[in-house]
Chain A
Amino acid sequence: MPAAILRMLRRDRWALAGAVTVTVIGFVAVFATLLTTIAGHDPYTYDSAALDPATGQPAGVLGGISGDHWFGVEPLTGRDLFAIVVHGTRTSFFIGIASTVVSVVLGVLVGAAAGYLGGWTDRIVTWAVDVFLGFPYLVFMIAISMVAPPEIPKPLLLIVVIGFFGWPGIARIVRAQTLTLKQRNFVAAARTLGAGPWHVFRTELLPNLWAPIIVVATLSVPSRIGLEAALSFLGVGVPVPTPSWGRSISEAIQWVGTDPMLLIFPGLALFLTTWGFNVFGDGLRDALDPKSGVR
């Protein structure tokens, strides 16, 4: 499969652009501290010297962009916007990927069990998937973040909640794939030889499920990153002062007329990340699933 992905990247320029974007942003997330050390500011230190004392807005043009503050500074606090955006990458990536892992593990186990075991297991899972897909989960997530005890770290809570509400889509696809695989001779052979469900799952089904799993997982990362940003935007996501694109964008609301840069930088970062995952995921799907190659 890595060979298939490489071939796809060579052929599909959009997917390559997406892959490059995702990789660059991934590097930014991993080396955030290093990057901000080079740039000379951390995302937490207040700097009133960079502000116009009369209005509390950034001194200078375009939100205070200068050789010192690459993306300018935040109004009222004077914190470095470059550092905030760079560290926000870490928040978004971490929550996006970790919650995807949670959903994939749940979705694959549940979906494969439903497809392979059939009968009542299948009926209950299919029904639960329908219920979950139709659940007002944004409303529910907002509500849960409100009532959760403050001892639970918010990022962990977000990962669990976003991960938990994300499994049904994956389970549905894995179930459909498993139903097809179950009919294949190698699965029948393994069963005839007396292999139990767990063994069949691990050695026969899983290796054949990877391709669709990777495609759905990649395509679901952007919506999770968007969800984290949305929750932070609404004030129920990661708490202050942890940098988050969503919260920066929500703070930008009151400054949009006077300091649009506060909206543009975090917004652009968020947009590029989701866009990168989307086009890369589209390319992956076309490469790994020949049927959908309708580009």
Chain B
Amino acid sequence: MLRLIAQRIGGMLLVLLIVAFCTFAVFYLVPSDPAQLACGRPCTEQNLALAREFMGMDSPWWRQFTDFLVGVAAGRTFGSGATAIHCAAPCFGYSFQQNTDVVTLIAERVPVTFSLAIGAAVLWLVFGIGLGVLAALRRGTAFDRIALAASVAGVSAPVYLVGLLGILVFGFTLDVVPVGGYVPFSESPVDWAWRLVMPWIVLAFLHAAFYVRLVRSQMLETLNEDFIRTARAKGLSESKVVGKHALRNVLLPVVTLVGIDLGGLLGGAVITESVFSLPGLGGLLINAVHSRDLPLVLGCTLFAGFLVVVANALVDLCYGVLDPRARLT
């Protein structure tokens, strides 16, 4: 088990390094110049060169990349003398537009996105797995058919459409829930949950649709396996056969999907956040893109990549727990 964990962490770091390198290459090799934006008016050649030097953009690209990596590990200082800006480790860059280091900006937004993603994930797992199992057990009945039709609809509907329709129906027409904004949990847990109800339900509905389909087909396949027949032949109760023997098998692909989905959402539920005007990581990224704040875009992309990689590693560990065979490889 320890060796598996060590291997995983090594693999994770390698993947992160590659994500960092790709992101870096894309942002620094294209003709878009943060120094030009920060240079001020009138932008003389001299000022531009000064800005470049200050941002560390006067060195060759590979040097900038290694500077960045060193910054992550040990922190770095931009410029020198009285005007120098120190960015403490782990320094994922410095937004010269907002005069704050990227990590601080991300940390401010993390609670919003995490509240949204984790709350929705709990909902969609409960409903997705529950309905999927029920549909499989009642295969061919009206319940099964309705669940299937609803899940195809859920899979096909884009999040912003369902979100906006939700706002239209429940927010404006019926006027029962707030349609946007965020209240920190520490300020008022009730308001926090109440504001997030709509986004949670919308996100959960769309994701649950995938899980219902997946769980249903996995369950049907598993129930045909020999070991299920053996379990029944041993005289186990049906609830034990389904709940213990079959479900455990069904959960394997579910865990994979949760890892991918949750990893992606935590990095910024870009669209949901923008529909419900939640000030999360997705909003931070979109704003950074529109104001051409390169270091911030780079930081957000890397952070999102980091979460995906961590989520995948956790998935692998869960596999080891759920499926004894996976521990061997």
Contacts and interface: CB of A to CB of B under 8 A. Distances in A.
Interface stretch (B84-92, B107-115, B116-124, B305-313): B305-313
Interface stretch (B58-66, B158-166, B244-252, B318-326): B158-166
A271 interface: yes
A226 B154 CA distance: 13
Contacts of A133: 260
B271 A135 contact: no
Interface stretch (B40-48, B73-81, B262-270): B262-270
Nearest to A258: B172
A234 B264 contact: no
A257 interface: yes
A122 to B, nearest CB: 16
Contacts of A147: 26-27, 30, 32, 294
Contacts of B168: 256-257, 260, 263
A85 B30 CA distance: 34
A47 to B, nearest CB: 25
B289 interface: yes
A140 B158 contact: no
Q: Which of A143, A233, A257, A267 has the most CB of B within 10 A?
A: A143
Interface stretch (A51-59, A198-206, A209-217, A246-254): A246-254
B191 interface: no
Contact of A274 (B22, B148, B158): B158
Interface string B267-310: 11011001100000000011001101010010011001101110
A205 B27 CA distance: 40
Interface in A100-157: 130-131, 133-136, 138-140, 142-149
A98 interface: no
Contacts of B289: 142-143, 145-146, 236
B156 A275 contact: yes
A171 interface: no
A136 B274 contact: no
Interface string A234-274: 11100000000000011011001100100100010011001
Nearest to B291: A146
Contact residues of B: prevailing secondary structure? helix
A139 B32 contact: no
A233 B271 contact: yes
A180 interface: no
Contacts of B30: 147-149
Contacts of A134: 15, 260, 263, 308-309, 311-312
Interface size class of B (residues with CB under 8 A): 35 or more
Contact of B301 (A131, A136, A233, A236): A136
B155 interface: yes
A119 B31 CA distance: 39
B305 A249 contact: no
Contact of B172 (A236, A252, A257): A257
Interface size class of A (residues with CB under 8 A): 35 or more
Given A139-B301, A140-B23, A142-B289, A267 B308 contact: no
Interface in A8-26: 14
Contacts of A226: 158
Contacts of B263: 134
A131 B12 CA distance: 10
A171 B167 CA distance: 39
A168 B219 CA distance: 26
A135 B21 CA distance: 13
B38 interface: no
A252 to B, nearest CB: 7
A294 B152 contact: no
B258 interface: no
Contact of A256 (B164, B221, B308): B164
A279 interface: yes
A130 B315 CA distance: 13
Contacts of B155: 278
A135 B161 contact: no
Contact of A230 (B31, B165, B220, B271): B271
B5 interface: no
List 7 A-B pairs, minimum CB-CB distance, nearest first: A136-B304, A275-B156, A274-B156, A147-B30, A146-B289, A294-B220, A267-B161
Interface of A: 14, 130-131, 133-136, 138-140, 142-149, 222, 226, 229-230, 233-236, 249-250, 252-253, 256-257, 260, 263, 267, 270-271, 274-275, 278-279, 282, 292, 294-295
Given A14-B152, A294-B216, 20 more contacts: A136-B268, A136-B301, A136-B304, A136-B307, A139-B270, A142-B270, A143-B26, A143-B285, A147-B32, A229-B158, A234-B270, A249-B161, A257-B172, A263-B165, A267-B161, A270-B158, A271-B157, A274-B157, A275-B157, A278-B155
28 contacts: A14-B152, A131-B15, A136-B267, A136-B301, A136-B304, A136-B307, A139-B270, A139-B305, A142-B285, A142-B286, A143-B297, A145-B289, A146-B32, A147-B26, A147-B27, A147-B30, A148-B30, A230-B160, A233-B160, A233-B274, A271-B153, A275-B153, A275-B157, A278-B156, A279-B152, A292-B217, A294-B221, A295-B148
